[in-house]
Amino acid sequence: MKPLPELTAFLEGLPEPHILFDAQYRILAANAAYRRQFSPDRSIVGRHCYEVSHHFSVPCDQAGESCPLAQSKISGQRERVLHLHHTRQGEEYVNIELSPLPGADGQPAFYVEKMEPLKVAQSQPASQGLIGRSPAFQRMLGLVARVAPSRATVLLLGESGTGKELVARAVHEASPRAGKPLVAVDCSSLPETLFESELFGHERGAFTGATAAKGGLVEAASGGTLFLDEVGDIPLPMQVKLLRLLETGTYRRVGSTELRHADIRVVSATHRDLDRLIAEGKFREDLYHRLSTFPILLPPLRERRGDMALLAPALLERVAAPRRLVISPAALARLDAQPFAGNVRELRNLLERTALLCDGDVIEAAHVDEAIATGRLPVRGAPAPVAHDTASAGETVRAAGREALRAIVAAHRGNRAALAAQLGISERSLYRKLKSLE
């Protein structure tokens, strides 16, 4: 059966890449946008979609990918997936939306695929944004692509250092609000006395020192996205006010009776166990349900097998600029063997130390070993622990680090900024480490 010329002409006029194909994966028509993006030098009609887009010799579901055509044959409905496609610029993440077109008998006669590049993530080393291609990373990214165009609140869950702020930015930039601000609120660093005025703003004379009216972060995010980082650290009294904002879309500045309306999309994140905090009475269950319309679990680095070869060069380029360093295969293997309890953040810090310890242009395994050794804080009076790629050894190293940190904090006489500089970490990271000692 041949497609109607009117249908082919309609697809040709669409700005996004579209193809029309049959149930045997044969491409019957492709518009100009598709031809430019995926096959500018060869004819497309008559070839299989999986050959053009993926360079596969078999359908996607037989090559370890999800296949929207196979899913649509089962459901009889429109299907959406996230795929890695070969383009003129290399492999890129692409949102696929497949729609079945019924024939005279009511059964699907043709299928139309619409493709939209997902610009917030890369499958190759890049200077910014999310990077990865492991199955765990792609599952997470698929959820980002699905929820981003909606208004749903998103709760990012996962261990510290997994890149929750980057994922929040990806949700924002793939949403209709991308042209408006993304405002981040570090809930763990805001004292309870300042939380309300920072979030909602205050009027002149609302409290001592309020010499002028000031808008809050909710106002600053108007039309865009409010990112609540470490939402598990919000003081309990402030959780009620945040719940009111989420339920009604309204708030009041401190010292004001005027009700204001908030045009924001809320994305929140935490590395804490909110279920345990709810059970302990430290986090409101109703607030949890408001924040977690669409939860996304970020995979730890140890579950992202194969991503180290992409992440390490990209992070090294960021921390070592303007130097152009290369990681040897042996050094990359050494990095891949590390447990990285601090995930991508720990990897970034390790690479920065490694770059400082390397005088040449190539990072070798010895440089990585030295950076790992200098990054540990051994217990006073005890030999430094020896690293082994096991969970027990990792716990030993972390316990040693906690005890050493206690000793350093007890001996320090300066402020928090000076202590963070001494340890070679940010004040935010220091704050979290200190809380973990409590």
**DSSP letters of 222-290?**
TTSEEEEETGGGS-HHHHHHHHHHHHHSEE--BT----EE---EEEEEESS-HHHHHHTTSS-HHHHHH
One-letter identity of residue 196: E
The total of other beta-carbon atoms located within 10 Å of residue 311's CB is: 21
d(CA 94, CA 85): 7
Helix (H, G, I), strand (E, B) or coil at 110: strand
Highest mean pLDDT among 115-124, 176-185, 252-261, 417-426: 176-185
Average pLDDT, the chain: 85
- pLDDT reported for residue 157: 96
Q: What percentage of the chain carries pLDDT values higher than 70?
A: 84
Instruction: Please identify which residue in the block is written with the tokens 């500045």.
Output: 253
Instruction: Record the tokens describing residue 246, joined without a space.
Output: 């989420």
* 91 compared with 95, residue with greater pLDDT: 95
- pLDDT reported for residue 232: 94
The mean pLDDT of 128-134, rounded to a whole number, is 83
**Beta strand 90-102 pairing with 108-117:** antiparallel
User: Taking the model in full, what pTM does it have?
Assistant: 0.76
Instruction: Please identify which residue in the block is written with the tokens 């990271």.
Output: 429
- pLDDT reported for residue 417: 66
* 37 compared with 14, residue with greater pLDDT: 14
d(CA 65, CA 359): 43
CB 254 within 8 A of CB 202: yes
Highest mean pLDDT among 81-95, 125-139, 182-196, 269-283: 269-283
Half-sphere exposure of 17 (CA within 13 A, CB side): 18
Whether the predicted pLDDT of 237 surpasses 80:
yes
Whether the predicted pLDDT of 206 surpasses 90:
no
Whether the predicted pLDDT of 130 surpasses 90:
no
Summarised one tens digit per residue, pLDDT across range 176-192 is: 999 999 999 999 888 88
Summarised one tens digit per residue, pLDDT across range 394-404 is: 343 344 355 55
